[in-house]
Structures are given as structure tokens and as C-alpha cells.
Structure 1
């Protein structure tokens, strides 16, 4: 019988094995973290969210860009995670996100002639009339709102707003609580009623006359993708069809249940409308949810969109107690004929 002598492991082997293991786990972790940005990028590029369950996670697209930047920074800073090919792939993923997101953060820089008539408009989903009526009336007074669109406002909510004094500020109204949306105005309204397009429920519409200008308003509240993505997509397609037939002096405002990363919203904008937030370089104006102690507003579902006869001057999001949506307040300028886009 002979003894077998085994050489002890070298110190370099001891050091190398844990390092390789740590690198493997680190690379795996980065890969898992990048799964969401990669999937959402594919959905965003292909428009797969239109009638599929991807309509919900695509609202996280801006957050996936932030996640990609963090992972890229980590891979660059930690020696054990550095890999030229991996960093190249992640950098390409981040760049693709930035290219898609950047336009909404760059102001259009459109000049507004001094002689332009201006309108201040607002929209609020009242959460079934739970919005504090006195707070909403105070907002209308403080922000000098000319036209207000409300969604999810039942008849009881209409009465509560009148009791709070809205009638004195906005004596003209096109009320359709049975169809989920209504329009209030400081200025006379004309040709009011509801739309006749293929939406889950009719949208309220009316024209406002200001200094000889007629502006058509459509108070929007679409079906929600969480309930039925196909029904929601049909609502958005119906609005796009309506937008293509609209005059330049048209404003669509309300709760679209859609962000700027949804394909149906991009189709609506391509039909001839401009999102005020994106126009002014504020393309991440988060409006939902609010009213939760530990959850800040995460996504933008509420928008003010306008035709080529108008231009955005300012936009902001304001809280109204009682509802889970922020109000969107926008100032719009009615452009003279020579200042309008072709």
C-alpha cells in the first residue's frame, strides 16, 4: 500500500473560486433586474400593449429606464461585474429607452403671439363624486379656470358642487352624469351634447365661445385596461377617429386611462393632437394614484390634448382631497391663423 500525497490548493485558487462565484451571482442578479426593461422595450417598440395584458406594465416604461441606468452604473463601478460585452448590451438598452423618452422632456419651444386669446382649462376625475366640492371650487377660483371637465361625477356630486358655489363661477354647463362626464364653463356654451362614437359610454362635448373664437371641448373618460384591454383599445381608437375629423380648435381633456407609452395614446396623438405635458417638456406629470399615505403618484392617466389651432402655455397637477386622481390645469393659447401649424 502506498500513500498518495495531494498538493494543497494554492492561495490563488482559494481567492479565485469565491470571486468567480460572486461574479456569477452578480451577473445573474443584473440579468434578472434587466428583464423588465428588456421586455417593456420590446412591448413599447412593437405596440403589443394595445389589446393585451401588457397594457398594464407598459406604464412602468420610464421606471424601467431608470432601472437600466442603475444597473449600468453598478456594472461599471463594480470590478467583478465588468464585462465589455455585457456593458455594451446594457448601454444599448438604456440608449433605446432614452431615445424613446427624450422627446417628451424637450419643450417644443413654440412661440405664442402676444395677441393670442388664452384659455385656462382643468380636468379632474372626481372618484365617483368623492372629491371635496369646496376644495374643487377653491381650485377653480384660485387658478382662474375658464373650462372644467369632470369625470365620474354622479348627480349627487353635481348638486354638491352647486352647493359649494360653482354655479356662481361657472354658470354655463353641459351635464351628463349618466354618461360619466360633464363640462362647466365661465363662457357661453354652444352645440352641447354627447359623442356618437364607439366608446364604452358617451363622452360629453360642447363648444365654448371666447372673443369670437369657438373651441370644441370633449370631456374624456375611457374604459380601463385592467378591466378589458380590448374595450379600452376600442375606446382609444374611437377617440382617434374623432380627432381626425375634428377642427384645429379642439381640446380633448380628461382621464384617458393611458400614458404616453401606450400605443393607443400615441395613435391618438398622431391623429392631430398634442399633449400639453409633452409639448412643454413635462412628459412625466404623474396624476395617479393620490390619497395614499405611502404611495406617491406613479403614472399619468389624465391629459389635456389640443389641436393645431392652439398651443400650450403652462400645465400643472394639483391635489384635490377625496379623489385618487390629481387635477390637471393647463393654459392654452388660441393661435391666430398665421401662427398655426400646417
Structure 2
């Protein structure tokens, strides 16, 4: 008689070692890792090389970081969930404050409405710009990418009837800038930053107020890796301010967001960002023309001396410009 043994049973796979479960765990960590690295770079201010351009999109990554955290929680990967939630919290600390009004500064003084608009090689709709100046009672306008053709178009649209005092630094291409004012301008002039762009400036004297030094800012864009160092040095060279001397307003196309360390360092030298102060710090200003498919970011800012208060801020689409205009209602020190 032949005796055969029963086939050995295959031991069940431990629940924690099922291939599908392992694959899901790996996937969750692969989703967490980029957000973790991103928030570390943002928090440490290590924006170098291609990270300069990428960091402009930090708010998008912050929103995306919630997804792996939710996935880890739903699937009970507690270690991964802890790390993912820490990443979400860090992003929230870095991004959310600019969407919450606060730090508006002084509320007593003289009201002054200012506006900045990048004219895209001088081709922006001049009548629309003048219409905004009239509608919003703008007293000071700063323009970038300001050409002679753009200046003539604004004059034809009647801007100099509303803002007759000027500081011009117009020239072909993207490098020109200008300042228009309803009130007299003293010390009008301009200087060329290291990246080649001109920045017009002047001291405006509103009635019953202290003089205000206004400058149209336009650091060079980090449009390719070779320009990163120039971009950084241009932002570092922007004038700071302090408790002494003439209060400053620095407004324009900074080619940087609040997620870029060089811009944050500039603000730390005595300014407040009008967008962040009013809870509009995530309102995008670029691109809105000829750059389809690129996510919107906040490159245009109104930076005001901490002796100046911020009442409100708004952004407005300008036809034939890739930047939205920024309008800020300010309270400047009384005389």
C-alpha cells in the first residue's frame, strides 16, 4: 500500500505584508516626500537654481499636500499621516497668514490711493489704466515696461490731466519705468538696477501730509538660471526704510512672491506688504496675457513703510498686459 502525504498548506501572508498594502504604503510616502522637501526648502529660504522659479508656486503645493495626508489617514498609515500632517501644518504657517488681514499699520493720517501697472512693452490699454486712475481716485501711479509709445498713449488718454506731476524713465523694451502724481514731485530721477531695468522715483507732497518717497520697482526676472544671481542682487539693492527719514512706498513688478527669501528680506528692512496686510496676499497678478498654461502667481506688490497704514487693496485686469494692476488705499503720516 502506497502512503501519500497530504500537500503542505501555504501559510497565509501576514496582513501587513500583502503586496498591495506595501505598494500603497510606498505610494503614500512617494507623495509625501516632494511636499516635505518643498516645505523644508521654503522654510529655510534655500531658493537656488531651478528652485527660484518653482518656489513661486508654493501655494499650489501647499494645497496639494493635503491629499497625501488625507490618504494616509483614511488608510491608517499612522506614521505617514503624522509626517504628512506636519507638512500640512508647516505649509499653513508659511502660506495662510497672507490670506488673513492683519498688520495694517496706522489708521490715522492722510488718505492716499496708489496704483502700479506693468505695461508689457508699453502696449497695455492706456484708456483702461486712465479709467482705473479716475474711478479709484488714484493719487500716485507707478508703471513698468514703460516706453515712449506707452507714455504717449497715456497722455492721449488724458492721464496727465489727472496726474500732472511726473518722473519719467521711459525707453524701448521692458526696462523703462515712470511715476505719475496728482501732487508735486521733488527730486524726480531714476537709477538703473544691476539687471538693466530703470526705476523712476520722486518725493511726493500730498496736502496736509508728510512727504512720501515713491519708487517704481522692477528687479530683473529670474527667467533662466543665468539670471538668478542678478535677480537676487537687484532685490537686495532695493532701498530699505526705517523710523528716520522720509517714509517710502516701493511698488511695482518685483518678479518675486512672498515665498522668495530675497523679497521677504527686503520687506523685513522696514516695509509691510499691502496684499498680506489686507488678506489679499494670495491674489495672483501674473500671467494674464500671452503666457497660457502657466499657473497664476503674485509678482506685483505695494510695499509701504511701516509708518504708513494700509486700508485696502485690489487687483484689476489690464487688456494687452500680462500683469494685473494693483491698487492700494493707504494712510500716510499727517504733516
Corresponding position of 1:67: 64
- Please state how far the C-alpha of 1:39 moved relative to its aligned partner: 2.1
- Please state how far the C-alpha of 1:111 moved relative to its aligned partner: 6.5
Corresponding position of 1:278: 276
Going by fraction, where is helix more abundant, 1 or 2? Answer: 1
TM-score scaled to structure 2, two decimals? 0.88
Corresponding position of 2:89: 95
Relative to structure 1, the CA distance from residue 36 to residue 298 in structure 2 (aligned partners, 3 Å threshold; closer, same or farther) is: farther
Contact 1:290–1:297 at 8 Å: present in 2 too?
no
Q: Distance in 1 between matches of 2:259 and 2:233?
A: 17
TM-score scaled to structure 1, two decimals? 0.87
Q: 1:193 aligned to 189, 192, 201, which one?
A: 189
Residue 215 in structure 1 maps to residue 209 in structure 2: no
**Aligned Cα RMSD in Å?**
2.6
Corresponding position of 1:159: 152
Q: Distance in 2 between matches of 1:112 and 1:92?
A: 36
Relative to structure 1, the CA distance from residue 4 to residue 222 in structure 2 (aligned partners, 3 Å threshold; closer, same or farther) is: farther
- Please state how far the C-alpha of 1:106 moved relative to its aligned partner: 3.0
Q: Distance in 2 between matches of 1:162 and 1:37?
A: 49
- Deviation track 1:233-262 (CA, whole Å, cap 9, x = no partner) reads 0001101xx214783521000000000010
1:133-144 aligned at under 5 Å gives the runs: 133-144=126-137
- Deviation track 1:4-56 (CA, whole Å, cap 9, x = no partner) reads 7545768x76x969x9333333333333333332222121122221x532111
Residue 122 in structure 1 maps to residue 115 in structure 2: yes
Farther-moved stretch of structure 1 (67-76 vs 314-323): 67-76
Q: Distance in 2 between matches of 1:294 and 1:2?
A: 78
Segments of 5+ residues of structure 1 without an aligned counterpart are 338-342
Corresponding position of 1:180: 176
Segments of 5+ residues of structure 2 without an aligned counterpart are none
Q: How many residues align?
A: 327
Q: Distance in 2 between matches of 1:322 and 1:289?
A: 11
